[in-house]
């Protein structure tokens, strides 16, 4: 029996031996010369000189043993469509897509931006990119046109793959007008646009630049496109994530390290075996979708279930019925979804036969104790919280049941995963914290395989953002607070920066502030995250108006509030919409002009903001207090 402590220790003390063994999990067309290159810190290169391909490892390799096993089961409760693809069928679809992309000029190293809803073609497109050695950049379908334009300008894709529409909660969301607007806004004009026509949008755009996928798919129906063998450190994808500035960062990932890390995590963390069925309820636009809807389950020879819909339509029992129907063994979602289900009719869970389910995994946001206790009791199966971020690609903290089934502790996602040299450090002096002392979660150099290699197109930003924030230490900052107990279990206490987490979605408060500031009525704005019983956190906005007189009446205020939320919807998408916009005549700031966001958030959560010796004018806090009281009086 392996014991966790020794296993973790070995991964840190002897990373080359440790990861050399793990690298056997994947096919290397050309073996690597060197496990790890640390000649240029903080950059690390894994499996240097090795040549491999993510699509080959995820699909082609399984054709010998599991060609007739389902690789992908697609279920949409929005359209009522169910489709199943065996590994052989998935292989064929990816080859068609790859041939179409190739015919449109996509080559190794070029970017393909994927702006798609949860449809199987999204999986084909991502894996077709991997096959061709092209770099995919998936943009979450809920993002609005300006967001999409910023990503087009940063990634400079040769091709954009989109659909006529997405659907959520019974509502059709037209995509083509958003793509049209994004292209008009973007500086980068040379991308072609491939359209997957679901025939959902009644008034879909018919612009001449849209190339329809279906006839091309027919044309390349029998295509076989060889895999490009990429050097392990070539980029596989770029996934944008929010930070403290309004400019999103492109998290760049490699090929070989990512494949090895995900394959290993399927055994040590997820205990997934070839032939199992895994249902990850996330979106392909997020890192959980990349890693655990697509790459990891397929790399390990599982069947992956892809779901379009909400957890409560047609009713709150739908996910449990999926477990019964498809004999799902592993399920992965975010705590928000469970809080939603708990509020519905928790008894629905008992109506389905859940005997196939072995473990439920949760990540993306803190798992509160009431939710953890409820779901653990209701399921009677292990519930495994795991903590990570877009940048790491796979869990940093978890009970690694495939190594040793340590007992879980409520409120903690567990202990550091193998490969991660995780230390909590004092924010002021960078020294390691004593057990029980609050600190910033940091990772030592090098980051393990699978983690981001750099910020797309901006190595300096990778160094400046992630490796330069802890005083006196060349360590990676996660920008999360935590506390570690004597047994090594870490509890996450929230972000150290201005990033908030709404329903498991990471949002920069700065992005929302910038969107609101673009409205002519707004002079100044502060956005904070406050505790929300269902979504974990909600965004609240406090605005100072240029001409308060104009909006003095209730009617004018209500109209303004609608306009402001619509501005956020238009610029960022509805997921970033503040729960409430409060009007104040000044914002609490330090004498040097820094917004006191933590003080505002404290007041909004009914806590005292504590001593604020540097505050410019305490009257601003009174204003915030009054605005909150007035709003709760109206509610
Ligand atoms: P993202 O990059 O969108 O996946 O968001 C990552 C952030 O979500 C982390 O930096 C944490 O703040 C938060 N997070 C993710 N997983 C957990 C978890 N299991 N417990 C607490 N916070 C989490």
Shortest-distance Cα residue to atom 10 of ligand 1 = 389
Pocket test for ligand 1, best of 249, 250, 292, 364 (most atoms within 8 A of CB): 364
Tokens 């108006």, residue located = 545
Tokens 């007008």, residue located = 177
* pTM (two decimals): 0.93
Tell me the DSSP string of 318-359: HHHHHHHHHT--EEEE-HHHHHHHHHS-GGGGGGS--TT--E
Q: Residue 184 CA to chain centroid, in angstroms?
A: 27
CA distances, 25 to each of 263, 267, 417 (Å):
7, 11, 18
Shortest-distance Cα residue to atom 21 of ligand 1 = 366
Percentage of the chain lying above the pLDDT 90 cut: 85
Per-residue pLDDT for 391 more than 80? yes
CB count, 10 Å around CB of 459?
15
CB-ligand 1 contact for 158 (6 Å cutoff): no
Query: Is 594 or 140 the better-scoring residue by pLDDT?
Result: 140
Report the atom number in ligand 1 closest to the C-alpha of 390: 2
Shortest-distance Cα residue to atom 5 of ligand 1 = 389
Pocket test for ligand 1, best of 142, 492, 502 (most atoms within 8 A of CB): 492
Q: Which pLDDT tens digit goes with each residue over 130-168?
A: 999 999 999 999 889 999 999 999 999 999 999 999 999
| E-state strands within 388-521 | 397-398, 415-416, 422-425, 439-443, 454-455, 476-484, 490-495, 499-502, 505-508
Question: How far does the centroid of ligand 1 lie from the alpha carbon of residue 445, in Å?
Answer: 21
Instruction: Provide the token pair at 549.
Output: 């007189």
538-560 CB burial, b ≥16 within 10 A, e <16:
bbbbbbbbeeeeebeeeeeeeeb
Report the atom number in ligand 1 closest to the C-alpha of 506: 3
Pocket test for ligand 1, best of 244, 388, 415 (most atoms within 8 A of CB): 388
Dist CA 88 CA 307 (whole Å): 21
CA distances, 17 to each of 10, 193, 231 (Å):
9, 45, 20
Instruction: Provide the token pair at 366.
Output: 């803190």
CB-ligand 1 contact for 320 (6 Å cutoff): no
Question: How far does the centroid of ligand 1 lie from the alpha carbon of residue 286, in Å?
Answer: 12
What pLDDT sits at residue 634? 61
Shortest-distance Cα residue to atom 4 of ligand 1 = 389
- Cα torsion 600, 603, 607, 611: sign: positive
Cross-strand partners of 580: 540
CB-ligand 1 contact for 396 (6 Å cutoff): no
Q: Which pLDDT tens digit goes with each residue over 435-494?
A: 999 999 999 999 999 999 999 999 999 999 999 999 999 999 999 999 999 999 999 998
Tokens 């990570």, residue located = 388
Q: Which pLDDT tens digit goes with each residue over 234-292?
A: 999 999 998 777 678 999 999 999 999 999 999 999 999 999 999 999 999 999 999 99
CB 261 within 8 A of CB 450: yes
Dist CA 337 CA 67 (whole Å): 34
Question: How far does the centroid of ligand 1 lie from the alpha carbon of residue 387, in Å?
Answer: 6
Q: What would be the CATH architecture of the domain defined by 503-634?
A: 2-Layer Sandwich (3.30)
Phi, psi dihedral angles at 578 (to 5 degrees)? -65, 145
Terminal Cα distance for the chain, rounded: 57
615 pLDDT tier (thresholds 50, 70, 90): confident
Shortest-distance Cα residue to atom 20 of ligand 1 = 366
Dist CA 146 CA 592 (whole Å): 32
Instruction: Provide the token pair at 522.
Output: 């707004």
Q: Which pLDDT tens digit goes with each residue over 214-223?
A: 999 999 999 9
172 pLDDT tier (thresholds 50, 70, 90): very high
Listed by start position, the domains of the chain span 503-634
CB-ligand 1 contact for 492 (6 Å cutoff): yes
Question: How far does the centroid of ligand 1 lie from the alpha carbon of residue 500, in Å?
Answer: 10
What pLDDT sits at residue 193? 97
């Amino acid at each position: 029996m392996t014991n966790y402590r020794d296993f973790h220790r070995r991964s840190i003390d002897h990373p080359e031996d440790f990861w050399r063994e793990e690298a056997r999990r994947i096919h290397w067309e050309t073996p690597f010369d060197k496990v790890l290159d640390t000649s240029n810190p903080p950059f690390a290169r894994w499996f240097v000189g090795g040549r491999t391909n993510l699509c080959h490892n995820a699909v082609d390799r399984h054709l010998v043993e599991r060609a007739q096993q389902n690789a992908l089961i697609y279920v949409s409760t929005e359209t009522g469509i169910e489709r199943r693809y065996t590994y052989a069928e998935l292989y064929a679809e990816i080859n068609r897509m790859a041939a179409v992309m190739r015919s449109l000029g996509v080559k190794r190293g070029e970017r393909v931006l994927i702006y798609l809803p949860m449809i199987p073609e999204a999986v084909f497109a991502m894996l077709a990119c991997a096959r061709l050695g092209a770099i995919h950049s998936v943009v979450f379908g809920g993002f609005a046109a300006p967001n999409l334009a910023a990503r087009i300008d940063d990634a400079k894709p040769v091709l954009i793959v989109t659909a006529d529409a997405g659907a959520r909660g019974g509502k059709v969301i037209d995509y083509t007008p958003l793509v049209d607007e994004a292209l008009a806004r973007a500086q980068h004009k040379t991308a072609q646009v491939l359209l997957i026509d679901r025939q959902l949008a009644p008034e879909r755009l018919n612009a001449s630049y849209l190339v329809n996928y279906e006839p091309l798919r027919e044309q390349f129906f029998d295509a076989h496109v060889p895999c490009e063998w990429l050097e392990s450190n070539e980029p596989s994808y770029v996934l944008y994530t929010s930070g403290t500035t309004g400019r999103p960062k492109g998290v760049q990932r490699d090929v070989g390290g990512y494949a090895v890390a995900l394959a290993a995590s399927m055994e040590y963390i997820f205990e997934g075996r070839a032939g199992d069925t895994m249902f990850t309820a996330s979106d392909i636009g997020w890192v959980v979708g990349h890693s655990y809807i697509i790459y990891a389950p397929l790399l390990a020879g599982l069947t992956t279930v892809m779901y379009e819909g909400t957890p409560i339509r047609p009713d709150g029992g739908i996910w449990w019925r999926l477990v019964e129907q498809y004999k799902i063994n592993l399920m992965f979602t975010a705590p928000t979804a469970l809080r939603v289900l708990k509020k519905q009719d928790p008894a629905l869970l008992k109506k389905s036969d859940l005997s196939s389910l072995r473990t439920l995994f949760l990540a993306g946001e803190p798992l509160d104790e009431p939710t953890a206790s409820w779901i653990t009791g209701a399921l009677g199966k292990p519930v495994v919280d795991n903590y990570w971020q877009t940048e790491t690609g796979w869990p940093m903290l978890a009970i690694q049941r495939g190594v040793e089934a340590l007992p879980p502790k409520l409120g903690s996602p567990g202990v550091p995963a193998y490969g991660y040299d995780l230390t909590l450090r004092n924010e002021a002096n960078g020294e390691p914290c004593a057990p029980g002392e609050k600190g910033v979660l940091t990772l030592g150099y090098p980051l393990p395989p699978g983690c981001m290699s750099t910020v797309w197109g901006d190595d300096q930003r990778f160094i400046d953002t992630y490796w330069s924030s802890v005083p006196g230490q060349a360590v990676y900052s996660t920008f999360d607070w935590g506390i570690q107990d004597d047994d090594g279990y870490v509890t996450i206490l929230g972000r150290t920066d201005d990033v908030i987490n709404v329903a498991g979605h990471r949002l920069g408060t700065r992005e929302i502030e910038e969107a609101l500031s673009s409205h002519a009525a707004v002079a100044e704005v502060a956005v904070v995250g406050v505790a929300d019983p269902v979504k974990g956190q909600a965004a609240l906005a406090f605005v100072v108006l240029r001409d308060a007189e104009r909006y003095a009446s209730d009617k004018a205020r209500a109209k303004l509030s609608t306009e402001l939320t619509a501005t956020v919807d238009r610029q960022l998408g509805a997921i970033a919409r503040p729960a409430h916009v409060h009007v104040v005549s000044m914002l609490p700031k330090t004498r040097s002009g820094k917004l006191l966001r933590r003080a505002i958030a404290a007041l909004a959560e009914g806590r005292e903001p504590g001593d604020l010796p540097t505050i410019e004018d305490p009257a601003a806090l009174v204003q915030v207090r009054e605005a909150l009281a007035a709003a709760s009086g109206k509610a």
